[in-house]
Amino acid sequence: MARLPAYSPHAVAEHTFARLMTFPNVVITGHQGFFTHEALTAIAETTIGNLTSFEMTGEALHALQS
């Protein structure tokens, strides 16, 4: 089963989206869950923490692994 790129184990298969888009009363929109006060605060705090740590130690708190 083909899946759309997503970070959720509950991603909807492409054929399901294709079928839904054939209906005139269906609108498909992007997920906006990151755009809450709590989420934006957490993003800002994590970013500041990473920058501060990098400035002081040369390593970020949440460094990406390659």
Structure tokens at 46: 């994590």
Q: Which residues contact 17 (CB under 8 A, 6 or more apart)?
A: 4, 28
What percent of the chain is modeled with pLDDT above 90?
A: 36
Helix or strand (DSSP H, E) at 17: helix 14-20
In the chain, what are the domain boundaries?
A: 34-66
The residue assigned the tokens 């692994």 is 65
Q: What is the pLDDT of residue 1?
A: 39
Contact yes or no for 3/11 (Cβ under 8 A): yes
Distances in Å between the alpha carbon of 58 and those of 49, 50, 61, 66? 13, 10, 10, 17
The 10s digit of each residue's pLDDT in 56-65 is 999 999 888 8
